[in-house]
A and B are shown apart, each in its own frame.
Chain A
Amino acid sequence: EAQVTQNPRYLITVTGKKLTVTCSQNMNHEYMSWYRQDPGLGLRQIYYSMNVEVTDKGDVPEGYKVSRKEKRNFPLILESPSPNQTSLYFCASRTTGVGTGELFFGEGSRLTVL
């Protein structure tokens, strides 16, 4: 089954404790992206990657890191989480060819930073 898998789905952590949210897709997509969703602010892009070893900042990259060492994986790293990073996070992927353009989303990871 074609899917984007995020882990963990739910996480409560404390300020300053490094954490990684993993994202993996099995569709051989070139493009992957991380978003955060906050009430009233919609979806805001954190980082995106057009292909392996190619990453770019989105609209709200501060406090986050990413890496794209393999095509299928795109982990989101919070080196020193702070309470303002409490949010619902989505990973997504798609091809870069113009055939469909559909973005496939993971189920989301709800992060709480105390």
Chain B
Amino acid sequence: AQSVTQLGSHVSVSEGALVLLRCNYSSSVPPYLFWYVQYPNQGLQLLLKYTSAATLVKGINGFEAEFKKSETSFHLTKPSAHMSDAAEYFCAVSDKKGSTLGRLYFGRGTQLTVWP
């Protein structure tokens, strides 16, 4: 089974500051990796995904993440935080067997607060 670790359940930044949300996974085989965002009182939506193409992945709203196999990491960054980025962020990893995706495993989430 996979495991996903998100370091820091709460991250606070000032508006305009760098956002860095950390995610490490356990798979020894390059997996499919995802970041999802959940705004207050809403469901989850996909922010970006890594599917073994480019290691630097760009997502919506100016977010990007870099897949580092040697570190088994997939950290999420945004150069300049905006108030509207305040949300909960979830990292996820998927099993893959051949050409079939299996279970999706989620981290515990990181709540991002953006101060004015």
Contacts and interface: CB of A to CB of B under 8 A. Distances in A.
Categorize the interface residue count of chain A. Answer: 20 to 34
B80 interface: no
A107 to B, nearest CB: 5
Q: Could you say which interface size class chain B belongs to?
A: 20 to 34
A27 interface: no
B29 to A, nearest CB: 13
Given A42-B106, A43-B106, A101-B49, A107 B99 contact: no
Contact of B109 (A42, A94, A107): A42
A62 interface: no
Interface of A: 31, 33, 35, 40-43, 45, 48, 50, 58, 90, 92, 94-98, 100-103, 105-108
